[in-house]
């Protein structure tokens, strides 16, 4: 029997020490449902250390991401307050293993959500929309993982920047999105790359997260998943994300 607490400690220590570990296969071969349990246990360790759960993230909601990482299933992970970086703030490379950045859209949830919400109703559960930069940092060697590996590793979540919240009526479909490094556009995409409609990602989040047994709470944030491939970060990079109609946001790497 694999002790899921031991697997959670293995992943949590890799993240806390910013040092990569071997993929679970072989050492800890676990099922997908056990991988979600490991995620909960490893985030539980962070919550015990005083971090607060402030939302969730969706992953592999675009073909660009699925193809870049070789995983073709929707996944979800948890966000804590310690992952939040102010717009135009800094991250320090030595706190990460091999961080990458990607452009996202964030939803702020208006009311507690305990069950799946239909796509036709989904806008009514949001009170703010914002552009976001997600920093992902797989705890596995060479940024390589299986579906179970990445889920156990909290879907590579490591940091995120959120722009100013705009009204929930703001258009988020069919918007141009640009990911730039040092003022050069590295990836250009469209918000409809996120499940053909970014609202669909929030719909899936309500389905998957409530099926697991979590309540998405009023005020929490959901990241919709990247619209373009991610890029590796290097010292002194300044990353910006522009989602048309929203103010450009940025992240500095030191």
What are the b/e assignments for 76-111, b being 16+ CB within 10 Å?
A: bbbbbeebbbebeeebebeebbbbbbbbbbbbbbee
Decide whether 114 or 234 has the Cβ nearer to ligand OOG: 234
Return the SS3 of 169.
coil
The one segment of 28-36, 60-68, 87-95, 172-180 that binds ligand OOG by CB under 6 A? 60-68
DSSP 21: B
Interface with Mg ion, residue 137, by CB under 5 A:
no
Rule CB under 6 A: choose which of 43, 79, 152, 155 binds ligand OOG: 155
CB of 133 to Mg ion, least distance (A): 10
Q: List CB contacts of 162: < 8 A, sequence separation 6 or more.
A: 84, 87, 106, 130, 131, 132, 221, 249
Pairing assessment for the beta strands 89-91 and 249-253 based on DSSP bridges? parallel
Decide whether 4 or 79 has the Cβ nearer to ligand OOG: 79
Decide whether 126 or 150 has the Cβ nearer to Mg ion: 150
Residue nearest to Mg ion (CB): 134
Chain position carrying tokens 């914002």: 130
Interface with Mg ion, residue 226, by CB under 5 A:
yes
Residue numbers at the binding site for ligand OOG (CB under 6 A): 57, 59-61, 65, 69, 102, 134, 136, 138, 150, 155-156, 225-226
């Amino acid at each position: 029997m694999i002790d899921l607490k031991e697997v959670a400690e293995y992943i949590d220590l890799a993240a806390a020490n910013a040092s990569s570990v071997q993929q679970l296969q072989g050492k800890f071969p676990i099922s997908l449902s056990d991988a979600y349990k490991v995620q909960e246990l490893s985030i539980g360790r962070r919550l015990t250390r005083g971090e607060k759960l402030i939302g969730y993230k969706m992953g592999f909601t675009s073909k660009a991401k699925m193809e870049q990482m070789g995983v073709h299933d929707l996944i979800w992970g948890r966000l804590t307050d310690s992952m939040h970086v102010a717009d135009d703030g800094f991250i320090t490379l030595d706190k990460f293993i091999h961080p990458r950045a990607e452009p996202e859209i964030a939803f702020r949830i208006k009311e507690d959500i305990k069950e799946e919400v239909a796509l036709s109703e989904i806008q009514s559960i949001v009170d703010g929309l914002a552009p976001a930069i997600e920093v992902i940092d797989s705890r596995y060697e060479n940024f390589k993982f299986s579906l179970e590996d990445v889920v156990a590793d909290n879907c590579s979540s490591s940091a995120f920047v959120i722009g100013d919240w705009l009204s929930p009526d703001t258009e988020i479909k069919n918007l141009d999105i640009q990911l730039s490094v040092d003022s050069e556009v590295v990836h250009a995409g469209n918000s409809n790359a996120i499940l053909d409609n970014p609202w669909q990602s929030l719909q899936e989040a309500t389905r998957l997260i409530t099926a697991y047994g979590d309540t998405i709470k009023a005020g929490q944030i959901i990241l919709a998943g990247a619209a373009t491939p991610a890029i590796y970060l290097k010292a002194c990079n300044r990353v910006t994300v522009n989602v048309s109609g929203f103010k450009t946001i940025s992240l500095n790497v030191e």
